[in-house]
């Protein structure tokens, strides 16, 4: 429903033309007072409203009563399908749906959070091409929003820059909000009824996947294709396929390879790494794309500011240097955070055991793709040339051969010899850990980091959150964001070393969960939500 406008203050000039709009000043279902018109489109209007009794400003999407008519008798069902599915999504990068329903005089509405910002479409139009770092940052947030949707069996199917909002969030300028799930598809297997009229074409041609165009089965990889188009457009300022009419655009998606980024825009900031990610997203066959948004996110973390790539040759062969960021993992009801600063790592085929690099011991960590070994004094290694990696067997790797017989016979100078550290040396002590118990009233809330793109720490309070490394520095402040469907959200600031427990009180919101619609909707008898 992008045509109905986005819930933003940036479109407020439309309010001047509201004139005799009968909804201005009206109280919708005794909860939402309509204040002003902020956007309009063929499908409906978006108003600024105040929610009673909370006094909260929100955006109210209202359907145009004359839109559906005889042309699309299932439109109201799709509206309720969008509202019911979108209201289950709680990720900070997804627009929050507060309420939805139908009035006695057939006003269909959906209340959502009020956003102040602009669409990605407008940002691209005004500022493209984007730097790779900025494009990757925006795309990673889109990945996280859709990752949650996909985990609930929901495919967006209409991902495009007009459905991505950029808002200011604390000190972050490009905080993403994904909205407009008007073409969502629930793929949980429960659907049995088609919700589109025969011959009714739905979608945005410039961003549609080949399988969507052909009418084949769609899944999460359909959104991955659309994300690839969005990334391509951010980097080059243009979509890969733009033809004279929609039919030619659709045929190009099915049959033509996307042009290289530099060919589309020689001035674009595109490295081989980001181009590789984009082209894999844009593979014609879904089997050749990334399998999930998690995989796309992992690839994007190694581009832009998320990675430093290079090649280092050592005694054991070739290594790729990768810079990552502090991550946390969850297990059961607890979460663990490690240092948040950038770290360098070498990926090598080494046996288990401590590894000596330069003058320090680094204990390797196992992962699904091999051992990750911390890089210490990497610049010294590159400059000095000689270094020793001790293996788990205790046998040092062979040092580089001397450049001449004279050099081999001459006694080495202390500054020219990298010290050999015994494999039996003790590794560093484990990082300091601090555990905080998180609770909420009522229980069952989700806890996320307010920073770091709202990463989830635990799904169901009460739970324990463990901070490690730099995140466990005494006195450090961490902001935790508590959310629970049907309740207000709350941010709690804790101080490491001073707080061992944090409790958030979440008030029920104006009647609690979304009300039972008075008309045909997902809660009505006999209604069956269906992929369309």
Res 287 pLDDT > 90: yes
Query: Residue 356: which pLDDT band, with cuts at 50, 70 and 90?
Result: very low
- CA–CA separation, 228 and 208 (whole Å): 11
**In the prediction, which pLDDT does 186 show?**
54
Res 172 pLDDT > 60: yes
Average pLDDT score over residue span 204-209: 95
Would you say how long the chain is, in residues? 532
Query: Residue 303: which pLDDT band, with cuts at 50, 70 and 90?
Result: confident
Specify the CATH number of the domain 433-505: 2.60.40.1120
Query: Residue 343: which pLDDT band, with cuts at 50, 70 and 90?
Result: very low
Choosing from 3, 99, 158, 460, the catalytic residue is 158
Average pLDDT score over residue span 75-102: 87
Query: Residue 331: which pLDDT band, with cuts at 50, 70 and 90?
Result: very low
Question: What pLDDT digit, counting tens, does each position of 49-58 carry?
Answer: 999 888 899 9
**In the prediction, which pLDDT does 111 show?**
94
Beta pairing class for 334-337 and 463-468 = parallel
> What are all long-range contacts of 496-500, with beta carbons under 8 Å and residues at least 24 apart?
496/434, 496/467, 496/471, 496/472, 497/434, 499/436, 500/435, 500/436, 500/437
Helix (H, G, I), strand (E, B) or coil at 139: helix
Residues 6+ apart with CB under 8 A from 361: 354, 355, 421, 425, 426, 427, 428
Nearest to 346 by CA among 383, 317, 368: 317
In this predicted structure, which of 154-158, 164-168, 282-286 has the lowest mean pLDDT?
A: 154-158
- CATH 1.10.510.10 domain position(s) in the chain: 118-189+201-306
Whether residue 465 contacts residue 402, with contact meaning beta carbons closer than 8 Å, is answered with no
* 118-189+201-306 under CATH 1.10.3720.10, yes or no: no
**In the prediction, which pLDDT does 456 show?**
76
Query: Residue 81: which pLDDT band, with cuts at 50, 70 and 90?
Result: confident
158 is catalytic: yes
Average pLDDT score over residue span 92-111: 92
Residues 6+ apart with CB under 8 A from 385: 400
**In the prediction, which pLDDT does 75 show?**
72
- Residue 417 structure tokens: 């010899």
- Please tell me which residue, 513 or 457, carries the higher pLDDT value: 457
**In the prediction, which pLDDT does 183 show?**
55
Q: Which helix (H) or strand (E) holds 370?
A: strand 370-374
Query: Residue 160: which pLDDT band, with cuts at 50, 70 and 90?
Result: very high
Residue 479 C-alpha from the chain's centroid: 19
Average pLDDT score over residue span 363-375: 39
- CATH 3.30.200.20 domain position(s) in the chain: 2-113
Res 195 pLDDT > 70: no
CATH superfamily of 2-113: Phosphorylase Kinase; domain 1 (3.30.200.20)
- CATH 2.60.40.1120 domain position(s) in the chain: 433-505
Whether residue 206 contacts residue 160, with contact meaning beta carbons closer than 8 Å, is answered with yes
**In the prediction, which pLDDT does 310 show?**
34
In this predicted structure, which of 80-89, 120-129, 226-235 has the lowest mean pLDDT?
A: 80-89
SS (H, E, C) 166-216: EEEECCEEEEEEECCCCCCEECCCCCCCCCCCCCCCCCCHHHCCHHHHHCC
Average pLDDT score over residue span 116-126: 95
């Amino acid at each position: 429903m992008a045509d109905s406008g986005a819930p933003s203050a940036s479109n407020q000039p439309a309010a001047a033309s509201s004139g005799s709009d009968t909804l201005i000043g009206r109280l919708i279902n005794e909860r939402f007072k309509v204040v002003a018109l902020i956007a309009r489109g063929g499908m409906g209007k978006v108003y600024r409203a105040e929610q009673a009794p909370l006094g909260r400003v929100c955006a109210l999407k209202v359907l145009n009563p004359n839109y559906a008519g005889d042309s699309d008798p299932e439109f109201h069902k799709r509206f309720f399908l969008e509202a019911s599915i979108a209201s289950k999504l709680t990720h900070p990068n997804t627009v929050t749906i507060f309420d939805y329903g139908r009035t006695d005089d057939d006003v269909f509405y959906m209340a959502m959070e009020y956003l102040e910002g602009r669409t990605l479409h407008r940002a691209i139009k005004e500022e493209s091409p984007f730097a790779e770092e900025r494009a990757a940052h925006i795309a990673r947030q889109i990945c996280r929003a859709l990752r949650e949707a996909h985990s609930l069996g929901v495919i967006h199917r209409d991902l495009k820059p007009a459905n991505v909002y950029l808002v200011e969030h604390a000190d972050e300028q490009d905080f993403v909000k994904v909205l407009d799930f008007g073409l969502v598809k629930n793929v949980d297997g429960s659907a049995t009824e088609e919700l589109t009229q025969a011959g009714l074409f739905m979608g945005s041609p410039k961003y549609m996947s080949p399988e969507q165009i052909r009418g084949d089965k769609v899944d999460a990889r359909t959104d991955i294709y659309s994300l690839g188009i969005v990334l391509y457009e951010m980097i080059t300022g243009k979509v890969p396929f733009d033809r004279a009419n929609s039919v030619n655009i659709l045929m190009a998606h099915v049959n033509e390879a996307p042009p290289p980024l530099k060919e589309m825009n020689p001035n674009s900031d595109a490295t081989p790494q980001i181009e590789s990610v984009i082209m894999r997203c844009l593979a014609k066959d879904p089997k050749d794309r990334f399998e999930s948004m998690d995989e796309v996110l992992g690839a994007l973390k190694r581009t832009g500011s998320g990675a430093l790539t290079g090649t280092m040759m050592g005694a054991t062969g070739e290594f790729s240097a990768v810079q990552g960021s502090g991550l946390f993992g969850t297990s059961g009801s607890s979460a663990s955070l490690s240092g948040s600063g950038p770290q360098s790592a070498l990926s090598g085929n080494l046996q288990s055991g401590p590894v000596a690099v330069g003058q320090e011991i680094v204990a390797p960590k196992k992962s699904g793709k091999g051992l990750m070994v911390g890089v210490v004094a990497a610049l010294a290694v590159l400059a000095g040339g000689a270094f020793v990696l001790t293996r788990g067997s205790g046998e040092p790797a062979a040092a580089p051969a001397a450049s001449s017989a004279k050099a081999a016979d001459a006694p080495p100078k202390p500054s020219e010899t990298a010290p050999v550290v015994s494999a039996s040396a003790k590794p560093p002590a484990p990082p300091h850990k601090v555990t905080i118990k998180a609770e909420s009233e009522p229980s069952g809330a989700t806890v996320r980091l307010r920073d770091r793109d709202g990463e989830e720490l635990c799904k169901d309070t009460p739970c324990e959150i463990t901070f490690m490394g730099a995140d466990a520095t005494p006195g450090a402040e961490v902001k935790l964001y508590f959310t629970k469907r049907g309740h207000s959200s709350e941010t709690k600031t804790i101080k490491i070393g001073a707080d061992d427990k944090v409790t958030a009180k979440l008030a029920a919101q104006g009647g609690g969960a979304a009300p039972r619609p008075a008309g045909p909707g997902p809660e009505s008898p006999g209604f069956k939500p269906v992929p369309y």
